[in-house]
């Protein structure tokens, strides 16, 4: 059972995490949700479309203008508090690698810290333990925040993913994070080339076999673009195909930009797998 905030999710229940970037230079939406009102509208729409988790980020993942901890806090804390006020049942996640930001957003009502840079600040897990919130433990291949991979190599990429993420997860539990609130993430694109990300996808059953819930962040990423040789705005089909495969292979949480489309894919996979019934069943019955 996955427990985040006031929500509980069964092991075979797919969970959508909607991305809300509080940055003026986001790689995907180019600042569309940097201002409060567009961002709050995005949250409301995502919840209506089926997102159980809202993932709020105050710093662009890739290289760009320097954003210090104080500015990241300014972009996220007040917004977290307002989302909590408007949507008391939603799980609020904050995408950060800094313990100072983690403490501030937990005080404001965050339920989950999404550490996409793989424990580069070990005090972030301590914050999660102190507040009793969830933690995403990601494999980033030792990359520093906001850097791109360069000639990265692994003897066995999934072996490294398993070693790093499970160690981070066990450490989080030792620090007081509830075991049922810890997730592991293979970290597509982070510290990886496209072939690494593809291999991590097809070997997801090795992650699910650990017993930790698996989160995948696939949405419009470079490995999709390179695999299909398409630009950023043409990666939806590739993203949804990868989502379907990941769902079939046992991933549970999906960090996405397109909530409605992802929800349809996950419902279809669940029905094919026999975990869900069709919404309607008329054909051949009359």
For residue range 87-113, what is the model confidence (pLDDT) as tens digits?
999 999 999 999 999 999 999 999 999
For residue 178, give the CATH number of its domain.
Answer: 3.20.20.20
Number of domains the chain is built from: 1
Residue with tokens 């999934």: 158
C-alpha dist (Å) from residue 36 to 6, 54, 89, 105: 25, 15, 20, 16
pLDDT digits (tens, 9 = 90+) for 256-273: 999 999 999 999 999 999
Give the predicted TM-score (pTM) of the model: 0.96
**For residue 31, is pLDDT > 80?**
no
Residue 286 in domain: no
Active site residues: 221, 255
Please spell the DSSP secondary structure of the chain, one letter per residue. Answer: -EEETTEEE-TT--EEEEEEE--TT-TTTTTTTSSHHHHHHHHHHHHHHT-SEEEEESS-SSS-S---HHHHHHHHHHHHHHHHHH-TTSEEEEE---HHHHHHHHHHT--EEEETTSSSSTHHHHHHHHHT-EEEEE--TTPPTT----S---SSHHHHHHHHHHHHHHHHHHTT--GGGEEEE--TTTT--HHHHHHHHHTHHHHHTTSS-BEEE-TT-HHHHHHHT--GGG-HHHHHHHHHHHHHTT--EEEES-HHHHHHHHHHHHHHTTSS--S---TT--
Is 9 within a domain? Answer: yes
pLDDT of residue 66 exceeding 90 = yes
Please report whether residue 68 resides in a domain.
Answer: yes
Report the mean per-residue pLDDT for the chain: 96
Would residue 285 count as lying in a domain?
A: no
Tell whether 119 is covered by a domain: yes
Q: Is the pLDDT of residue 53 over 80?
A: yes
| Domain of 32, in residue numbers | 2-272
Q: Is 92 within a domain?
A: yes
According to the model, what pLDDT value does residue 29 have? Answer: 74
Give a yes or no: residue 278 inside a domain. Answer: no
């Amino acid at each position: 059972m996955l427990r985040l905030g006031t929500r509980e999710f069964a092991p075979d229940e797919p969970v959508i995490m909607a991305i809300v970037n509080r940055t003026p230079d986001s790689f995907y939406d180019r600042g569309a949700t940097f201002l409060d009102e567009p961002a709050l509208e995005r949250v409301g729409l995502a919840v209506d479309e089926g997102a159980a988790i809202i993932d709020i980020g105050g710093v662009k993942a890739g290289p760009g203008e320097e954003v210090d901890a104080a500015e990241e806090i300014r972009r996220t804390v007040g917004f977290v508090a307002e989302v909590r006020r408007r949507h008391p049942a939603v799980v609020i996640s904050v995408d950060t690698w800094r313990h100072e930001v983690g403490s501030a957003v937990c005080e404001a009502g965050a339920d989950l810290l999404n550490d996409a840079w793989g424990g580069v600040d070990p005090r972030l897990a301590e914050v999660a333990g102190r507040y009793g919130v969830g933690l995403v433990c990601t494999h980033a291949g030792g990359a520093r925040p906001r850097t791109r991979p360069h000639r990265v190599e692994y003897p066995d990429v999934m072996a490294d993913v398993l070693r790093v993420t499970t160690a981070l997860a066990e450490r989080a539990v030792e620090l007081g994070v509830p075991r049922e609130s810890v997730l592991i993430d293979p970290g597509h694109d982070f510290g990886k080339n496209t072939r690494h990300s593809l291999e991590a996808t097809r070997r997801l059953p090795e992650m699910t076999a650990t017993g930790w819930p698996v989160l995948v962040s696939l949405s419009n990423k470079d490995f999709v673009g390179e695999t299909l040789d398409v630009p950023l705005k043409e990666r939806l089909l590739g993203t949804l195909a990868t989502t379907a495969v990941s769902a079939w292979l046992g991933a549970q949480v999906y960090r996405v930009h397109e909530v409605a489309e992802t929800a349809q894919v996950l419902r279809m996979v669940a029905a094919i797998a026999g975990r869900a019934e069709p919404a309607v069943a008329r054909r051949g019955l009359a």
